[in-house]
Amino acid sequence: MKAFQDFYTEEFSHCYGCGRLNEYGLHLKSYWLDDDPTSDTAIAHYTPPEYATGGYPQNVYGGLIAALLDCHGNGTAAAAGYRHFGRDMGSLPSLRYVTAHLGLDYLAPTPMGSPLDLRATIQEVTDRKVVMHLELWAEQRLRVEGRMVSVLLR
């Protein structure tokens, strides 16, 4: 399956977190859960590099977690937007979403050394915005959750 971000047009593919054209970037990739295009949940996986630690070297940097969830949310919003408008992903003119609000609750430290499991579940889609619940899991435990509002760029 192609990731949501792989449908972004070239001009919008420079994101440090998820742009395929950013050679220094993290290249996060988001997909519908179980590759089911009717799902309301999208997932992404990412294993932080060794230097992406928080204050203590055994924990993942909270800022990286915010950044990954932000990219995953905007990718999910784009996929939800195409579905909302009844259009194929990647069809032109492209639908691009950007963050209006990102609110995160850090429930527990996130350990280094294992893949992070990111989830975005769609709560509301209008012609203007997508509202999502976000979760970050590591080692089968919920570490961070939050809410995000992505808005369609005009």
Cβ proximity to a second copy: between 67 and 152 the closer is: 67
27 binds a second copy, rule: CB under 8 A:
no
Site size with a second copy, rule: CB under 8 A: 41
Which residues neighbour 45 within 8 Å (Cβ) at sequence distance 6 or greater?
115, 116, 117, 118
Question: According to the binding rule CB under 8 A, does residue 140 interact with a second copy?
Answer: no
Cα separations (Å) of 85 from 33, 62, 127? 20, 34, 8
Give me the least distance between CB of 140 and a second copy, in Å please: 22
Is the previous residue joined to 109 through a cis bond, with omega within 30 degrees of 0? no
Residue of the chain from 84, 102, 111, 117 that contacts a second copy (CB under 8 A): 102
Q: Is 49 exposed, middle or buried (0-12, 13-18, 19+ CB in 10 A)?
A: exposed
Q: Is 51 in the site for a second copy (CB under 8 A)?
A: yes
Interface with a second copy (CB under 8 A): 8, 11-17, 19, 22-25, 51-57, 61-64, 66-68, 70-71, 74, 96, 98-106, 109
